[in-house]
Amino acid sequence: MLLRLAYLGLTNTFALLRLIPVSNRDKDIEILALRHQIGVLQRQLGDTRVRFSPADRALLTALLHRLPRQILHRLRLLVRPDTILRWHRDLLRRHHARMSRPKRPGRPRTIRSIRVLVLRLAKENPNWGYRRIHGELLVLGIKLAASTVWQILTDTGIDPAPERASSIWAQFLRSQAEVLLGCDFFET
């Protein structure tokens, strides 16, 4: 489409340059001839609608969007003036959407200093899992998702949920099981 639009723009520029030395009388005659041709096309097409390519729409929009609506209604066009204005709004909407699209899709990268801090906490405290590191970061005022801590640890080859040799929670569960079952079920 972009190549077609460039081609149409270039050919119309040459057509404009060709019109510069032409007298106003000759331009008026050409305009009348073009209007007559459009009338003939409209009679032959009847209810059939003319199909414009996206490049044709863009060119017509660029040429006609600055004209006031009253003048657009007086012109003999193959499309309604409201259609030209709708094409212009669509072009602007697509342009704005393209310009406001993020350059890099997806989640923003974690700041390097935070990554270093996560790795330092994990190396200095090998029994801590990703949730404990996440909690310590929150205490420090660093807002980071627990899944991000998990990803940082996993990417560097550190187990995000290490087995604890002796944790208070595991000891509690073991003692509760022994009480419920009445025997030393878990042998160490």
pLDDT digits (tens, 9 = 90+) for 73-122: 887 788 888 888 898 899 899 989 988 888 877 878 899 999 999 999 99
Q: How many helices (H) and strands (E) does the chain have?
A: 9, 0
Alpha-helical (H) ranges within 75-165 are: 81-100, 112-124, 130-139, 146-155
Q: Are 34 and 50 contacting, i.e. CB atoms less than 8 angstroms apart?
A: no
Q: How much is the mean pLDDT over the chain?
A: 82
- By residue count, the chain amounts to 188
* Percent composition of the chain: helix, strand, coil (DSSP 3-state, to 5): 65, 0, 35
